[in-house]
């Protein structure tokens, strides 16, 4: 672009027209960032032409109905460019967003937060900002689309997912996992829009990267193409090309960051700070956009608003098809996403049977038993594992594999891609119509923690099936034995961390996880067998209280708090203490977060005022002081684990009933 031209790029009406429409985005972006005195003007200014062509000619949407199930999804993975999204939502006339919201960009009073946040405004499909996450979300959305398309056909489900990714998104490791999975699955409705501007924060990307993105995507099985991101005709041709591919499509749009800001464009100076009043004024001149800040001339706005209604006829036709479809009720039930009563009834049967038959099984096996009950009664669940299917017990009898050529199944082999799996599950949950769960070893929750954090920020229903939850996994040793992970996960706001003790509690935790529409769940499950500890059936879901007295004792002097596999030890310790005339009660705490929500009276009664308090958990103490006090007794881990047979490892770290007895006795003396 030559700074002597007011409107640069190729000549032609379409080009001139697109540029003027795009300049509305550029102006809003630089004005919004300038008003906030922080933000990222460069990316929206660079991507404005591409976004204008996409929204005016390709994206299937009706701004009046942002949750239309068959809309195309638009994901801004490069979330720092949030002003691009806010501008598009306002210009096309989405509900709720106002120009005043944009004027207050990045202000606590505005839904236009620094990075797009799911739930703040209709049209924000996912929360982005941590680079690369949106790419993983988009892969999940595209998977959900194919899964539902296989069930309901093109008439009801036939839409694309567009994701805007920058250099940062593509450098992040998560993109490797997401791109590999999408390429393998031949997600032909996925279009990745690469903002190939050669700039990131530190300067030119040549400082740190030499990857040929086209070759990289091609190697993963994508269709690839380059385009000039400032040439409207080329942009249009590229999107046309993307519609015809039988694989996911990546378009590397060569763009200039900060396009239109004469002294800063093309440099890192345009990336992440307000341009400054002088440069904003210069850009206005450069772009021939001679309007006051936040003023969009009526002719431009009305054209943008018309794009927002472009999809109305298509949506109406879709509504008619839905109304006439035999699948209407089933489709709507899946979209609504309520857990069918049959699922809860089946889980209650699992509980009843377990209390009667008292099986000694690992809770990962118990989880499989719960899933058999769930999956047979609800078509919404989509299971998967990051290459640990036989260990995570995530695949039930009636789940057929999803393959690149057949999406009629309900089971996904995510490959060794924990992070990609978690981000894709977020995308699936956000897409709607499906309820994803996925497994890995709990220690590798570290590998997907950023996506778990986003599930939690967004408050969406994703279930993490985390098996091999302690030193109890044995021989694989400390690299595989989670020690600090329970504490780390319990520290995460909004995440429901469950650690059930037997089949009964496992069924209860699954029921809670599925019924909870506003929280992701993390279910910690054992590799080793555990006895049934809930011997009397109750229809009531006791785990819903978060913690409850599992075994009481008249005149109890000691309360033993425990979870999961160590409940067995606590119960044994209670017996040993009883033999020495020390009355102890055992409290099972499958979900701290739910316990915190109970009434003060209930909590107080469970905590056992006046008793000596001890916790038993094969994990670090961090967090337990809240219940046992700084002087409470703790039998658990104080270091990383060790390789050995489960029983020996427990003994090695002195996590035994005898240790609990000793700790209780010394606490009583104390």
Report the partner that residue 388 touches, choosing among Mg ion, ligand TPP, none (CB closer than 5 to 8 A by kind): none
Contacts of 374 by beta carbon, 8 Å cutoff, 6+ apart: 343, 346, 347, 381, 510, 514
> What is the token pair recorded at 345?
């009834």
Could you say which of 42, 384, 546, 608 contacts ligand TPP (CB under 6 A)? 42
Which residues from 156-185 bind ligand TPP, rule CB under 6 A? Answer: 166-169, 172
Q: What 3-state DSSP class applies to 285? A: helix
- Comparison of 42 and 608: residue with beta carbon closer to ligand TPP: 42
* Residue 166 interacting with Mg ion (CB under 5 A): yes
Report the partner that residue 236 touches, choosing among ligand TPP, Mg ion, none (CB closer than 5 to 8 A by kind): none
Measured from the CB of residue 196, what is the shortest distance to Mg ion in angstroms? 8
Distances in Å between the Cα of 448 and the Cα atoms of 140, 442, 474 are 15, 10, 23
Q: Count interface residues toward ligand TPP (CB under 6 A).
A: 19
Binding region for ligand TPP (CB under 6 A) out of 57-65, 195-203, 209-217, 218-226: 195-203
DSSP H or E run through 241? helix 232-243
- Comparison of 164 and 525: residue with beta carbon closer to Mg ion: 164
Q: What 3-state DSSP class applies to 452? A: helix
Binding region for Mg ion (CB under 5 A) out of 165-173, 306-314, 412-420, 641-649: 165-173
Report the partner that residue 438 touches, choosing among ligand TPP, Mg ion, none (CB closer than 5 to 8 A by kind): none
Binding region for Mg ion (CB under 5 A) out of 22-30, 200-208, 476-484, 599-607: 200-208
* Residue 258 interacting with ligand TPP (CB under 6 A): no
Residue nearest to Mg ion (CB): 167
Could you say which of 72, 145, 167, 617 contacts Mg ion (CB under 5 A)? 167
72 vs 649: CA distance, rounded Å: 52
147 vs 382: CA distance, rounded Å: 9
419 vs 210: CA distance, rounded Å: 24
* Residue 197 interacting with Mg ion (CB under 5 A): yes
Measured from the CB of residue 200, what is the shortest distance to ligand TPP in angstroms? 3
* Residue 200 interacting with ligand TPP (CB under 6 A): yes
Q: Count interface residues toward Mg ion (CB under 5 A).
A: 5
- Comparison of 8 and 267: residue with beta carbon closer to ligand TPP: 267
- Comparison of 99 and 201: residue with beta carbon closer to ligand TPP: 201
Which residues from 116-135 bind ligand TPP, rule CB under 6 A? Answer: 129-131
Measured from the CB of residue 124, what is the shortest distance to Mg ion in angstroms? 22
Which residues from 51-80 bind ligand TPP, rule CB under 6 A? Answer: 78, 80
CB atoms within 10 A of CB 445: 22
Measured from the CB of residue 450, what is the shortest distance to ligand TPP in angstroms? 7
Phi, psi dihedral angles at 251 (to 5 degrees): -115, 120
Q: What 3-state DSSP class applies to 41? A: coil
Which residues from 436-495 bind ligand TPP, rule CB under 6 A? Answer: none
Residue nearest to ligand TPP (CB): 166
Distances in Å between the Cα of 437 and the Cα atoms of 136, 217, 246, 410, 427 are 15, 27, 28, 11, 12
* Residue 229 interacting with ligand TPP (CB under 6 A): no
* Residue 199 interacting with Mg ion (CB under 5 A): yes
Polymer length of the chain: 670
45 vs 41: CA distance, rounded Å: 6
338 vs 345: CA distance, rounded Å: 14
Could you say which of 135, 143, 199, 443 contacts ligand TPP (CB under 6 A)? 199
Q: Catalytic pick from 172, 177, 236, 418?
A: 418
Verify whether residue 418 is a known catalytic residue: yes
47 vs 49: CA distance, rounded Å: 6
Kindly report the three-state secondary structure assignment for every residue of 335-390.
HHCCCCHHHHHHHHHHHHHHHHHCCCEEHHHHHHHHHHHHHHHCCCEEEEECCCHH
- Comparison of 204 and 293: residue with beta carbon closer to Mg ion: 204
Report the partner that residue 545 touches, choosing among Mg ion, ligand TPP, none (CB closer than 5 to 8 A by kind): none
Contacts of 154 by beta carbon, 8 Å cutoff, 6+ apart: none
Contacts of 323 by beta carbon, 8 Å cutoff, 6+ apart: none
Question: Do residues 45 and 29 lie in contact, with contact meaning Cβ atoms separated by under 8 Å?
Answer: yes
Q: HSE of 375 in the Cβ direction (CA atoms, 13 Å)? A: 21
Task: Look at the block and give the residue holding tokens 């519609």.
Answer: 243
Measured from the CB of residue 254, what is the shortest distance to Mg ion in angstroms? 11
Distances in Å between the Cα of 506 and the Cα atoms of 441, 509, 572 are 17, 5, 21
Reference 54, options 27, 84, 29, 94; nearest CA is 84
* Residue 201 interacting with ligand TPP (CB under 6 A): yes
Query: In the chain, helix, strand, coil percent, each to 5?
Result: 45, 15, 40
- Comparison of 78 and 250: residue with beta carbon closer to ligand TPP: 78
* Residue 257 interacting with ligand TPP (CB under 6 A): yes
Question: Do residues 131 and 78 lie in contact, with contact meaning Cβ atoms separated by under 8 Å?
Answer: yes
77 vs 88: CA distance, rounded Å: 15
Measured from the CB of residue 167, what is the shortest distance to ligand TPP in angstroms? 3
Could you say which of 126, 149, 161, 197 contacts ligand TPP (CB under 6 A)? 197
* Residue 271 interacting with ligand TPP (CB under 6 A): yes
- Comparison of 126 and 200: residue with beta carbon closer to Mg ion: 200
Binding region for Mg ion (CB under 5 A) out of 191-199, 209-217, 483-491, 578-586: 191-199
Measured from the CB of residue 202, what is the shortest distance to ligand TPP in angstroms? 8
Phi-psi region of 130 (alpha: psi -120 to 50; beta: other; left: phi over 0): beta
Where does this chain bind Mg ion (CB under 5 A)? 166-167, 197, 199-200
Q: Which residues bind ligand TPP (CB under 6 A)?
A: 42-43, 78, 80, 129-131, 166-169, 172, 195, 197, 199-201, 257, 271
**Where in the sequence numbering do the catalytic residues fall?**
418
């Amino acid at each position: 672009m030559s700074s002597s031209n007011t409107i640069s790029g190729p000549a032609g009406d379409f080009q001139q027209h697109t540029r003027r429409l795009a300049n509305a985005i550029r102006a809003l972006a630089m004005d919004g960032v300038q008003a906030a005195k922080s933000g990222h003007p460069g990316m929206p200014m660079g991507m404005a032409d591409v976004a204008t062509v996409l929204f005016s000619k390709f994206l299937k949407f009706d701004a009046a109905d942002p949750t239309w199930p068959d809309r195309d999804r638009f994901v801004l993975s490069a979330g720092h460019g949030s002003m691009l999204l806010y501008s598009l939502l306002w210009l096309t006339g989405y509900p709720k967003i106002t120009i005043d919201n944009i004027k207050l960009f990045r202000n606590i009073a505005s839904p236009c937060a620094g990075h797009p946040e799911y739930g703040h405004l209709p049209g924000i499909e996912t929360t982005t900002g941590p680079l690369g996450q949106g790419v993983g979300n988009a892969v999940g959305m595209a998977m959900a689309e194919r899964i539902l398309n296989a069930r309901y056909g093109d008439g009801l489900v036939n839409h694309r997912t567009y994701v805007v990714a920058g250099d940062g998104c593509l450098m992040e490791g998560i993109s490797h996992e997401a791109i590999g999975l999408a390429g393998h699955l031949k997600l032909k409705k996925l279009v990745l829009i690469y903002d190939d501007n050669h700039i990131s924060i530190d300067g030119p990307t040549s400082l740190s990267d030499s990857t040929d993105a086209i070759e990289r995507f091609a190697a993963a099985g994508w269709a690839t193409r380059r385009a000039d991101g400032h040439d409207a005709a080329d942009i249009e041709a590229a999107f046309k090309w993307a519609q015809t591919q039988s694989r996911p499509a990546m378009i590397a749009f060569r763009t200039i960051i900060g396009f239109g800001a004469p002294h800063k464009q093309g440099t890192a100076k345009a990336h992440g700070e307000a341009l400054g009043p002088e440069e904003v004024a210069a850009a206005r001149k450069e772009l021939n956009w001679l309007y006051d800040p936040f003023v969009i001339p009526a002719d431009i706005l009305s054209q943008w608003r018309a794009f927002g209604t472009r999809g109305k006829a298509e949506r109406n036709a879709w509504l008619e098809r839905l109304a006439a479809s035999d699948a209407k009720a089933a489709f709507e039930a899946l979209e609504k996403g309520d857990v069918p009563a049959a699922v809860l009834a089946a889980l209650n049967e699992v509980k009843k049977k377990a209390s009667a038959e008292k099986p000694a099984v690992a809770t990962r096996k118990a989880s499989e038993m719960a899933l058999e009950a769930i999956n047979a009664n609800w078509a919404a669940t989509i299971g998967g594992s990051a290459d640990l299917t036989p260990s995570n017990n995530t695949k039930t009898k009636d789940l057929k594999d999803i393959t690149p050529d057949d999406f009629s199944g309900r089971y996904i082999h995510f490959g060794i891609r924990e992070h990609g799996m978690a981000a894709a599950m977020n995308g699936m949950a956000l897409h709607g119509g499906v309820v994803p769960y996925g497994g890995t070893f709990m220690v590798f929750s570290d590998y997907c923690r950023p996506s778990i954090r986003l599930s939690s920020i967004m408050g969406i229903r994703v279930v993490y099936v985390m098996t091999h939850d302690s030193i109890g996994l044995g021989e694989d040793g400390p690299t595989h034995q989670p020690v600090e992970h329970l504490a780390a996960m319990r520290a995460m706001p909004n995440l429901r961390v469950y650690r059930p003790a037997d089949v009964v509690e496992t069924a209860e935790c699954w029921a809670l996880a599925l019924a909870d529409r506003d929280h992701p769940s993390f279910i910690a499950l054992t590799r080793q067998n555990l006895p049934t500890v809930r011997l009397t059936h109750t229809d009531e879901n006791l785990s819903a209280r978060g913690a409850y007295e599992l075994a009481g004792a008249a005149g109890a002097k000691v309360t033993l708090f425990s979870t999961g596999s160590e409940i067995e030890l606590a119960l044994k310790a209670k017996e040993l203490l009883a033999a020495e005339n020390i009355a102890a009660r055992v409290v099972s705490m499958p979900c701290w977060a739910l316990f915190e929500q109970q009434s003060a009276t209930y909590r107080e009664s469970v905590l056992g005022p006046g008793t000596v308090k001890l916790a038993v958990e094969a994990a670090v103490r961090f967090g337990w002081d809240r219940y046992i006090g700084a002087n409470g007794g703790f039998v658990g881990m104080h270091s990383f684990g060790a390789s050995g047979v489960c029983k020996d490892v427990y003994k090695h770290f002195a996590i035994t009933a005898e240790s609990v007895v000793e700790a209780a006795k010394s606490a009583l003396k104390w």
